[in-house]
Structure 1
Amino acid sequence: MMDGGEDAGDDLMSGPRLAIGELAGEFGLTHRTIRHYEDEGLLSPERIGSARGSARVYGHRDRARLALICRGKRLGFSLAEIKDFLNLYDTDDAQIEQMRYMRTIARRRISALEQQLADVKQTLSELCTIDTQISEHLRRNGITETQDMEEKHS
């Protein structure tokens, strides 16, 4: 954490403030990734110091937003979808619109993943069929699986 005493930059509402390197380390991200999220409007850290030499400091809100960004990326959502979700969080205290939006994009993602799963299953089936056909062809020509493996490793 940043130096400056036990409660410097630490209060009940905002929690500890972190430098970019500390935040990056906590989430396993690069400084560049965090800056990119800032450039995209997903994070808005406080800046301390002079305009020329200002440093970014990230509080509780930024950490919570970054956790949601990381989760959204892991689930396959675009940065635009994540930004829309986060913006709704800022404007909708009851979180009704946020939840509706999240449900919509989650259902869209589920549908896309189900299609991808069907495609992968189809591809696996085709590859297994090809493998079986090749194995049968090789067997008919007197080549066993063992011989085939031995030739590969020689």
Structure 2
Amino acid sequence: MTTSDDGQTWTIADLADEYDLTHRTIRHYEELGLISPERRGTVRVFHRRDRTRLALILRGKRIGFPLEEIRTIIDMYDQTPGEAGQLTYLLDQIAARRDDLEQRRADIEQTLRDLREVEARCRSDLRALRHR
């Protein structure tokens, strides 16, 4: 796209290519108010703020946050107490997410142990049946 007085801008195609997203996904984030590109007629013009927010959205999704939680975290940057509040909140959310994942991992490990136990019993019972 072009460079203006306030910095570089990107088209929806530029961002879709850069982040390997569909145009529809980017428009969806716009509809949700997560990004707010400038409109020049029918053309969306994305500024550095939109690009940064898009990267944060994708990072949040990658670590498992729902879009509403991502919105809360991103929007906190522009509100009081600003970046410090945002980071404190984010650390709390990361701890909660980590705890959830650790519990899921423990549950999966227990399920695998249970499956191995049931499998061993089934094999033992099958051997006993074959030797009758």
Taking structure 2 as the reference length, the TM-score comes to 0.87
Which residue of 1 is the match for residue 90 of structure 2? 102
The residue that corresponds to 1:90 in the other structure is: 78
Which one-letter code corresponds to 1:75 in the other structure?
I
Confirm whether residue 9 of structure 1 aligns to residue 3 of structure 2: yes
Structure having the higher Rg: 1
The answer to whether 1:46 aligns with 2:38 is yes
Displacement of 1:108 in angstroms is 1.2
Moved over 4 A (4+): none
1:51-62 matches, within 5 Å, as 54-62=42-50
Task: Report the Cα distance in structure 2 between the residues aligned to 1:116 and 1:14, rounded to whole angstroms.
Answer: 44
**Residue 94 of structure 1: how far off its partner (Å):** 5.7
Query: What do you get for the CA RMSD once the two structures are aligned?
Result: 2.1
1:33 and 2:25 correspond: yes
1:55-82 residue CA offsets vs partner (Å, 9 max, x unmatched): 1121221111111101101111111111
Give the alignment's TM-score, normalised by structure 1: 0.75
How much identity, in percent, do the aligned residues show?
44
Closer/same/farther in 2, CA of residues 93 and 24 from structure 1, 3 Å limit:
farther
SS in 2 for 1:43: coil
Q: How many residues align?
A: 131
Q: CA contact under 8 A between 1:45 and 1:59: conserved in structure 2?
A: yes
